Chains A and B, each alone.
Chain A
């Protein structure tokens, strides 16, 4: 066995370029996840029985079916029903919609730790529900749930590798392609693992920094 750093060195530029797609999928997915997650969460804890039931169903579907299956369904089903999205958009959407189910639960858990008195105080002041959510509840929920949300983002970086299955040229896919040309799977995949690891390391460091910042505030 000879581990050739040359192979890695020569292909590193391509892999780093592909890592940008990895980041795009995970960050885009996270953005959808957060925004949509707020709505799912609001629906889940709303007093409307039907709405709440629907949100619960949404959450259990997206958490209960493998993401790879969701991705394939999105990729094959959307054209089937006449929606012609570019593959990358389908991937971001699938990842985001799935992750929203988790974000919604994280936010719900965080909301439960916010004292009820705050809502009552806002009600007493006549603050409308929408403002209450936008200006009081959501900012706090995100702050409380931050560690879990950072974890979720790290998870998204990892699951973005699944997008390789539907042909998107992110890091895993490009690594497969390079392997096909060089016949050096060990070097290339180890290099890919290192890149993933470093991305996640940076995210968790940034997350910890953000946590500190928010604590002081």
Chain B
């Protein structure tokens, strides 16, 4: 292994890692928020809106991320949406993740016993407050693990952004590989970076799970 390779390409790889993290974080949290909004609209909205959301969820889940990315990035200009690669990447990431998140939230809603909501109505709490104080904290218990899991899945989907020349980790790795005719070193580093992301996410997920299940521990 040649270490001066890393000296030369280290900064580029690190920047790539930074871009990966940026796209992943903004895209995932955007998807999370959009997914939550969709799940709420599905739960509280009128029937026609529910059909629209249902169709959205099925269509996005039934098509490859790469095609969604292409529609936004290459097709976008045709309906007046001119995006830089990173913008297109993040936006398509938000769109791509949202139906999965919304399904997770939907299952969370269903996991909260209805009796608790009724009890809250009986003492006169408003629906907004019930959502915030009773339903949300409770649904976090069953959904924290699947949320963590999906964040981990999304770490890997970021690699696809390299296809539209987002200068993320895989893109920089490929550049390095092509310029130096090496494979082992760059891809080893790349694996290490993804591994770090996965480990980090699992760690945060475990912490979050401990936090949201605090009240269930027997004293």
Contacts and interface: CB of A to CB of B under 8 A. Distances in A.
Partners in one complex: yes
B104 interface: no
B159 A172 contact: no
Contacts of B70: 172, 175-176, 185, 189
Given A73-B187, A76-B183, A186 B75 contact: yes
B6 interface: no
B140 to A, nearest CB: 24
A72 B75 contact: no
A161 B71 contact: no
B213 interface: no
B79 A186 contact: yes
A65 B193 CA distance: 10
A193 B71 contact: yes
Given A185-B74, A189-B71, A190-B75, A196 B159 contact: no
Interface string B170-187: 100010010000010001
A146 to B, nearest CB: 19
Contacts of B79: 1, 186
A68 B80 CA distance: 30
Interface stretch (B27-35, B58-66, B113-121): B58-66
A67 B153 CA distance: 11
Contacts of A164: 66
B174 A72 contact: yes
Interface residues of A, number: 35
Given A64-B195, A68-B160, A165-B163, A186 B71 contact: yes
Contacts, number: 95
Contacts of A80: 183
A197 B71 contact: no
A68 B59 CA distance: 23
A179 to B, nearest CB: 7
Interface in B36-87: 58-59, 62-68, 70-71, 74-75, 78-80
A190 B71 contact: yes
B106 to A, nearest CB: 17
A201 B159 CA distance: 26
A24 interface: no
Interface of A: 1, 64-69, 72-73, 76-77, 80, 154, 157-162, 164-165, 172, 175-176, 179, 185-186, 189-190, 192-193, 196-197, 200-201
> Would you list the 5 A-B pairs with minimal beta carbon distance, nearest first?
A186-B75, A185-B74, A66-B159, A161-B64, A66-B156
Given A154-B62, A201-B62, 6 more contacts: A64-B191, A65-B156, A76-B177, A158-B64, A189-B74, A190-B75
